Structure 1
Amino acid sequence: MKWIRHRRSVGPVLGRSVSILITAFLTTVMTFGLIHLVPGGPAEALIGVSSTDVDPAVIEQRLGLDKPLYEQYLRWLSGVVHGDLGTSLVNNAPVADQVLHRLPVSAELVGLALALSAVVAVPLGVWTAYRAGRRSDGVVRAVSGIGLAVPEFFLAIVLIDVFAVGLGLFPALGYVPFGKDPVANLRHLALPAAALAAGASAIVVRQVRAAMIDALSSEYVRAARAMGLRERTIVWRYALRNVSTTVVTVYGLLAIGLLGATVVLEQIFVLPGMSGALVTAIETRDYPMLQGIVLTYVVIVLGINLVVDVATGFLDPRLRAGANA
């Protein structure tokens, strides 16, 4: 019986994993085709950079771009299966090495923004739900509305002007690896993380507030109050636990959205993340680099979705019961 229950609990995860592999494959096919539909190519881009009179056909033949499109894709896919994302057409460096070098910067920025948002927004959302309809609730909702309306790049410029240029509390640009100097690393990422966290916090406050209002008006909360439990215990132990699946789902979506927002902020703060390589790959039509970065983003997004599905299934007893039925 234990083996049967274990198989039933693992089955949805395996099914989701297979779905992820299929989605990743179809995405790479679509991306590979769309990339090659863009006017121009690596040969033209390289000739423009080097300012030579070399025939583009010669460069395409040297890079293997004269082969049929399906043959180029199968060759690339074969390398991916063996852990090789190819070699950049611009600098002849392995794509995997460049992705592994840049990805931690972007991941750390998103992680700090999510952590900052969780520390501020979740308690604030619970507090405003408990004080729904009061003046403080209206103030928080108004501020969160402003946070939703202000773009991250504009807020980033304001933060640089105030806290870096004006007050000199944080560096305006650059990056220091965490292993080299943890304090300097956090100081350099403080402003971009705050710019990302502002909009995310506004979303979380509103989502948590709405979910908590429903939870606080539910029958089990009324029963807990009738039993004489302390209000703090009811709010933070029972009601908040009931909306934990909402919080996890919202943060899963935010993680995906913030990963895309880093493309702009990393350019503003001159961070050596994925965005710099992505922009360069687009400008130079560096197909292997562009395809490798897109594949990395796809895997991250699908992985986040898998984690959210597993976490919500673990937190919600009704979903666990459905999976084990």
Structure 2
Amino acid sequence: MNRKLLSFVLRRLGHTAIVLVGVIIVVFTLVHLVPGDPVRVALGTRYTPEAYAALREASGLDRPLIVQFFSYIGNALTGDLGVSFRSGNPVTLVLLERLPATLSLAAAGIIIALLISFPLGLYAALHEGKALDGVIRAVSQFGVSVPDFWMGLMLITFFSVTLGWLPPSGYVPLTEDPLGWASHVLMPAFTVGVVAGSIMTRYIRSAVLDVVGSSYIRTAKSKGIKHRTVVMRHIVRNALVPVVTIGGIQMATMLGGLIVVEVVFAWPGLGRLVYDAVLSRDYAVIQGAVLLIAGMFLLINLLVDLLYAVVDPRIRVS
């Protein structure tokens, strides 16, 4: 690793740490402003004044907010994100149990998005103004506009209820049963992949059009180079930088924005975990999940920046 790249990585890691502290402050403040008493919810029918006071003291909620905040920061730096009110398990363990489901769904979703967006965006740009270009733009606009929950319900109605081809909900770990995982992940991955793919199609089309209009592309064509060679060696390669950008953004968005899809398909990932934690006022789980999602988002952005230099050697970190 050269000195410039190392300096760039360290600088970005420093920015990431500052952003994460800001995220913790905002989330900690907002969570404590939400109406409701998590201790009362956790006790349920087992509520007694003595049990309430004991649990409140054990969870540290009887201390001033500023003390709770700095205590949380100190514990988080050591990997201790607290204990879940609902399950009584460490939040770190709860998050690690749910993380594989979300990662597998996001990975399947981004693969579907790329399979949809790259050929459609490239074809639309190379045939600008033609009938199919208009159709692709209209379809991509429709895909962006369709709500996730509606598409998910329509897929369940058609493929599960009507045809009986796919299970309507649930999750099977990839490592235990790959075929079972594939049958369960197909509909939720298609749901998130269509929306992300529609957004990426429009970006890819725009990026390719910018490259097609460049002087070096006209020069390559005037030299008699085959159309396929021009497309693959010059157009696609030079259009990859914005594609990497939007692909990374969509991947990060999937990791943090799968709540609706995971609820519709009963997918036991981080999104469903946050949804359940909000309903039960499980402060520790909410804070830990948001911190993890924000960290993954920032990490993906860092990796995207580093990929620029790989995709296009003319780009240098500084």
Shift of 1:42: 1.4
- Residues 255, 297 of structure 2: 8 Å contact kept: no
Q: Any idea what the Cα deviations from partners look like across 1:13-58, whole Å, max 9, x if unmatched?
A: 11111110111112112211221122222123224x2263436444
Contact 2:24 2:291 in 1 (8 A): yes
Deviation, 1:144, is: 1.1
The letter of the residue matching 1:52 is Y
Alpha-carbon contact 2:40-2:47 (below 8 Å) kept: no
TM alignment of 1:1-325, pairs within 5 A: 6-47=2-43, 49-50=44-45, 52-54=47-49, 56-320=52-316, 323=318
Aligned equivalents of 2:228, 2:81: Cα separation in 1: 52
Q: Do 1:266 and 1:272's aligned partners in 2 also have CA atoms closer than 8 Å?
A: yes
Q: Within 1, Cα distance between the matches of 2:22 and 2:257?
A: 24
Greater CA deviation, 35-44 or 243-252? 35-44
- 1:260-306 CA-to-partner distances (Å, cap 9, x unmatched) read 33101111111111123212221222221111111101101111111
Greater displacement, 260-269 / 37-46: 37-46
Gaps of 5+ in 2: none
Distance across 2 between alignment mates of 1:170 and 1:189? 10
C-alpha distance in 2 between matches for 1:207 and 1:159: 26
Q: Give, as a single letter, the amino acid of the residue that structure 2 aligns with 1:34.
A: L
| Alpha-carbon distance between aligned partners in 1 of 2:208 and 2:101, rounded to the nearest angstrom | 34
Using the TM superposition, give the Cα deviation of residue 85 of structure 1 relative to its aligned residue in structure 2, in angstroms. 1.6
CA displacement, residues 224-256 of structure 1 (integer Å, 9 cap, x when unaligned): 111211111111221111111100111111112
Note the aligned Cα RMSD (angstroms): 1.6
- Structure 1 regions of 5+ residues with no counterpart? none
Residues 1:170 and 1:22: Cα distance change in structure 2 (over 3 Å): same
Q: 1:319 aligns to what SS in structure 2?
A: coil
Q: Distance in 2 between matches of 1:9 and 1:96?
A: 32
Q: 1:256 and 1:187, CA in 2 relative to 1: closer, same or farther beyond 3 A?
A: same
Answer yes or no: is the 8 Å Cα contact 1:41–1:284 preserved in 2.
no
Q: TM-score, normalised by structure 2?
A: 0.95
The alpha-carbon deviation at position 92 of structure 1 amounts to 1.2
Deviation of 1:71 after TM superposition, in Å, equals 1.8
Mapped partners of 2:59, 2:4: distance in 1: 49
| Paired amino acid for 2:102 | S
In 1, Cα distance between equivalents of 2:202 and 2:304: 20
Q: Percent identity?
A: 35
State the 4+ residue runs in structure 1 displaced beyond 6 angstroms. none
Cα distance in structure 2, aligned partners of 1:283 and 1:145: 34
Distance 1:114 1:276 in 2: 19
TM-score, scaled relative to structure 1: 0.93
Look up the equivalent residue of 1:298 and give its one-letter code: A
SS at match of 1:105: helix
